[in-house]
Structure 1
Amino acid sequence: MNHHSEYNNDIEAAVEVMRRGGVIAYPTDTVWGIGCDAACAVAVRRIYEIKHRADSKALITLVADEDMLAGCIEGEIPQACLDYLRESDRPTTIVYPKGRNVASELLAEDGSIGIRITRDSYSNDLCRMLGGAVVSTSANISGEPAAKVYGDISKKILDSVDYVAFSGRDSVEALRPSRVVKLTEDGEIIVLRD
């Protein structure tokens, strides 16, 4: 069996689990993540439980491209924002003022949502095949260090998800978390985490 079909089978299996409302562990453009279909409230709530995370801490969502991003936020994406993303030299999550078409559990108390366009092949293909945004939060119990490589993920986390991606397990390149910036109502960009 060649690598290509193994990779495709891995993506298809992960998407199938997410379509049924399941939760997966998978490699992203930054650290290993726990994810689900961003539109599925039940799955999003399960991620909060798995991580022992307070609901007031919103989760990041990954999208494949600018079109998918536009479907998840209210209003137009400001040009300054698109320019910022296109010029960014590393994965950048932007907190937009108002989210839509996603589980309300993903929104912060003020209705804002953190979204990242992922350029990493696995997570990008995941979004494309699902046909929508995929939740991405670091694969760790809240307060513990993020899982930079597959070997960092605790057994507890691996046992609590429904599917663990095969792709990326061998990678030893430790990637850092994304830069996080906030887009204000009047179109300004403020760096929250560099």
Structure 2
Amino acid sequence: MLKEEVAKALKIIQDGGIILYPTDTIWGIGCDATNSEAVKKIFALKQRAEAKSMIILVDTENKLQSYVREVPDIAYDLIEYAENPLTLVMPGAKNIAPELIAEDGSVGIRVAKHPFCEQLIQRLRKPLVSTSANISGQPSPQNFGQVAPEIIEGVDYVVDIDQHDLSVKKPSTIMRLAPDGGFEFIRR
């Protein structure tokens, strides 16, 4: 089941499509993080201002340096010891669609700990965009049952995993990291 869903989602993403999928936090809308046209589709679906950046998911912390010019050493410790899913916002974003890079040159990255995400990212060999599955300004859905119909109808594929899991999920903790290792919480 997992393998088939990964294969279906991979094909959609490689063709420039967008998917609705489960993550280690809340349900997300995603695409190839290097494909500008696909990223623009997500902004349009969410009715979101392009000044508000979205995060990317990688499958292992070893990939951080592929998308950030200088990864502070503390980033690896924070990822290793974080008890909850952790998104790190770091300056010097590179090798991703320009629409995903914030005005200050930073990008938010999370190492995904969900089997579907890990396998999809491994097979895609690129990071995956992840943004909450809602219209901008509306509450983030805590499970699949709360995802709005216009989101479900607006994506190219809805992943058929965890749809019946109605446990309440929360977005990740977000921390901003400076190159010198200084940090601040954006969302706890």
The question of 1:160 aligning with 2:154 is answered yes
* Cα separation, 1, equivalents of 2:80 and 2:102: 25
Any conservation in 1 of the 2:54–2:129 contact (CA below 8 Å)? Answer: yes
Q: Tell me, yes or no, if structure 1 residue 20 matches structure 2 residue 8.
A: no
Q: Displacement, 1:123?
A: 1.2
* 1: CA distance, partners of 2:8 / 2:64: 24
Equivalent position SS for 1:71: helix
Which region of structure 1 is more displaced relative to structure 2, 33-42 or 141-150?
141-150
Shift of 1:162: 0.2
Specify the SS of the correspondent of 1:81: helix
Task: Say whether residues 1:183 and 2:180 are aligned partners.
Answer: no
Q: TM-score, normalised by structure 1?
A: 0.94
Letter in 2 for 1:157: I
- 3-state secondary structure, aligned to 2:67: coil
Alignment match of 1:11 (pick from 6, 10, 14): 6
1:148 aligns with 2:119: no
Counterpart Cα distance in 1 of 2:169 and 2:24: 8
- Does the 8 Å contact 2:58/2:64 carry over to 1? yes
C-alpha distance in 1 between matches for 2:65 and 2:141? 29
Q: Normalized against structure 2, the TM-score is what? A: 0.97
| Correspondent of 1:72 among 67, 74, 80 | 67
Match among 108, 117, 126 for residue 120 of structure 2? 126
Structure 1 residue 163: Cα displacement: 0.3
C-alpha distance in structure 1 between counterparts of 2:65 and 2:168, whole Å: 30
Q: CA deviation at 1:185?
A: 3.2
The 1-side partners of 2:16 and 2:32 are apart by 7
CA–CA separation in structure 2 for the residues paired with 1:126 and 1:151? 23
Q: Report Cα offsets for 1:89-140 as digits up to 9, x if no partner.
A: 0000000111111000000001100000011111111111111100000000
Where does the alignment leave 5 or more consecutive residues of structure 2 unmatched?
Answer: none
Structure 1 unaligned segments of length 5 or more: list them.
1-5
Q: Percent of counterpart pairs with the same letter? A: 37
Whether 2:132 is the aligned partner of 1:138: answer: yes
- Written as runs of structure 1 = structure 2, the 5 A alignment for 1:39-58 is 39-58=34-53
Given that 2:21 and 2:29 are in contact with CA atoms closer than 8 Å, whether structure 1 keeps it comes out as yes
CA distance in 2, matches of 1:107, 1:132: 16
> How far apart in 2 are the matches of 1:187 and 1:168?
36
Contact kept, 8 Å, 2:73 with 2:181, in 1: the verdict is no
Cross-structure match for 1:3: none
Q: Does 2:92 align with 1:98?
A: yes
Structure 2 counterpart SS, 1:173? coil
Task: Quote the RMSD (CA, aligned, Å).
Answer: 0.9
